[in-house]
Amino acid sequence: MGYKTKTQHMRVNTINIDFYSVFFLYIINIIIQITVIPLFSTPTFGDGINPLALGFKLRGDDWTSYLMADGYYYKYGQMLFYLPFIVLIKNNVVLYRVLLLINSLLISLIPVCAFQIVTKYLNCVNKKVSWGIALLIGVIPAVTLNSKYTWSEPILMLIPWLIMLLFMKAMEKENSRKEKRLYGLLIGILQTYAYMVHNRGIVILIASLLCVLLIRFMLKEKCISMFSYLSATIGLCMLDLFMAPRLKEYLYGTGANLIGEGKGIINKGFIKNLFSETGLKTIGEEFAGWIFANASSTLGLSVLGIVISFFVIIHFWRFLKDSKKEFILVFFSLLCFLGALALGSLFFFNDLFAAADMDVAKRGDKLIYTRYLDGAGVCISFIGLYFLLCRREKWIKNCILYSGLLFFLFHGFFVSRIATRINDTITWSLDLMLISYFCNLKQTIRGGSYTTIGFLSGGIAFWGLFGILFFGVLMTYFKNKRRFFLAVYIAAFLLCYFWNSYNSIFRQDRYVKNIMDECREIISCAENQELKNIYLDDEILRCAFQYTFSDYYVITRRDNNRHSINQMFILSPKSEYNHELYAEDYYEIINNGINENSDYHLYIKGEQLNDMVNSKGILTEKLQYDDIAISN
């Protein structure tokens, strides 16, 4: 492979970045991000509501019992942005849209960072191409769709870009002592804050640490103060060690480990299983499935970035001599990608290892998970785009060929090894939303993000094939027509964004919202806190109900307290009654109390609650156990 020096392919002067170019780019991305926000009204799954629990408790809504039954623990970092609005805004629909607006304001900084990196620090001589690359990065579905939930992804996706920009600024020139301290302090704060937002932020922390050490000791660049960097890192890590368990105990009423914390996963048994023949096969399937899913979600851009990144790492001496800044960007992005891949695969390993000898995995999405790789996949896609459109050496042509071949091989692996294992499995639809465009989401729309997806493997296989053809055609015929290339990718990603915003997120949001609206008048009759209890036979609705009726206690089958609560509303699927909770004071709302077209019936357990409902002019009828038995 040929390699040209920097003076042969790149002008050394920097482009003047005017304020209006950056501002316009930011505004365009915000407009794209916020366009669909009025369609959404409530979180529909645990990852989107549990991180809000701390803020709601501080405003007076205690979800401790609900959270203990749900079991998942999420960290507290994103409350830095959410808390003031949770405390001040009492209308929860308005609040949810405001929180999504905050996500949009944050995530729209990613293309701004990309534009500054390409134009100011990598000296791309074509400003319009740089602007197009930045806009494309801003509309990758991983960015636009992940920001439509109140989970940790928007902040975790933004932080690596801020860190990369700081690396570029620090390495740009000879810095004063004050500047060196500032860069060290900011990088240390950002990387540790990522860990405060979510445990998965440890990947960003480790990647940043390795890059700082590389810059300081291998590249011999003294542009970052190690004292301020380590002081910020160690100080905030100590603060997190103090804060995290105390906030968890305050929120959950326990210091014990909960599901989803990631603690206690690695032990002797885990290590033994991991390095067994079945274990190595399982982890290999995860790696291949996840990379295929991420490549499909980016229409091949991430696999191009992976191949180019490995080329740069293999030829690191050449790149260190040519452009240290380029090498740091590649090294950091690749570390984030490989770290996210390894951490996520290890987290799911036990479940998939247990299912390795079965025909299907417990959850199909665990073999083709996209979420944990989304943020790093955007960074690695940026690497591919930059080298493809701004560097354009002969060796990149070979990287394109290898990328297409690798994408094709991963697709073949999915079809031959994974597809049959995931059919008819229970799956979190939101974890596959970036690759499920051809799948049948009818069941997931009807209130169940955690359910069976129709035409799952076939739909994903078709989307992957479309991605290969799309990538191949544009790389073969249009890579030299850079503006057209960027325009086609941007158009494709915008179509993916708007379609999935409607087909997946909005339709599910609207379904659960309609159910809650039908129940709202009756459920709102409860004026005393001891009467504010809602039992859901369909626990898929639990997140939306807990968020919407935020001062109520939402109960499901996973909650052992359900037998001891004497006063509660009970929402059951149509033509079903809850035998388990039957008592002598079990009432049915006359005319079901909600729309006849609804899939659910509303019941009341408890004389006191029934009397309060009757006092509001709502009629009820007492049920006998024999009536329940006959109806079933």
Residues 461 and 518 reside in one and the same domain:
no
- Cα 144 from Cα 108, distance rounded (Å): 9
Kindly state whether residue 373 falls inside one of the protein's structural domains: yes
Kindly state whether residue 57 falls inside one of the protein's structural domains: no
Q: How many residues does the chain have?
A: 632
Kindly state whether residue 302 falls inside one of the protein's structural domains: yes
Give the SS3 label for residue 300: coil
Kindly state whether residue 38 falls inside one of the protein's structural domains: no
Residues 471 and 414 reside in one and the same domain:
yes
Kindly state whether residue 360 falls inside one of the protein's structural domains: yes
Q: Can you name the residues that pair with 536 across neighbouring β-strands?
A: 571
What pLDDT, on the 0 to 100 scale, is given for residue 460? 95
71: left (phi over 0), alpha (psi -120 to 50) or beta: left
Say how many domains are in the chain. Answer: 2
Kindly state whether residue 255 falls inside one of the protein's structural domains: no
Residues of the chain with pLDDT under 70: 1-16, 71, 73, 254-265, 356-362, 444-451, 574-580, 582-583, 591-598, 625-632
Residues 522 and 463 reside in one and the same domain:
no
Residues 279 and 320 reside in one and the same domain:
yes
pLDDT, tens digit (0-9, with 9 covering 90-100), for 607-627: 999 999 999 888 888 887 655
- Cα 11 from Cα 38, distance rounded (Å): 46
- Cα 454 from Cα 425, distance rounded (Å): 10
DSSP for 534-556, please give it.
EEESSGGGHHHHHHHTTTSEEE-
Which run of H or E residues covers position 45?
A: none
- Residue 614: give the domain boundaries: 512-631
Which candidate, 606, 593, 574, places its Cα nearest to that of 524?
Answer: 593
Residues 537 and 476 reside in one and the same domain:
no
Contact 482, 389 (CB under 8 A): yes
What pLDDT, on the 0 to 100 scale, is given for residue 12? 40
What pLDDT, on the 0 to 100 scale, is given for residue 261? 59
Residues 530 and 438 reside in one and the same domain:
no
pLDDT, tens digit (0-9, with 9 covering 90-100), for 67-104: 888 767 678 999 999 999 999 999 999 999 999 999 99
Kindly state whether residue 540 falls inside one of the protein's structural domains: yes
Residues 286 and 429 reside in one and the same domain:
yes
CB atoms < 10 A from the CB of 627, how many?
A: 14
- Tokens 């991180």, residue located: 51
Kindly state whether residue 413 falls inside one of the protein's structural domains: yes
Which run of H or E residues covers position 177?
A: helix 177-197
Contact 373, 348 (CB under 8 A): no
What pLDDT, on the 0 to 100 scale, is given for residue 11? 39
Residues 442 and 519 reside in one and the same domain:
no
Residues 363 and 273 reside in one and the same domain:
yes
Residues 388 and 529 reside in one and the same domain:
no
What pLDDT, on the 0 to 100 scale, is given for residue 298? 98
Give the SS3 label for residue 613: helix
pTM over 0.75: yes
Residues 441 and 546 reside in one and the same domain:
no
Residues 430 and 313 reside in one and the same domain:
yes
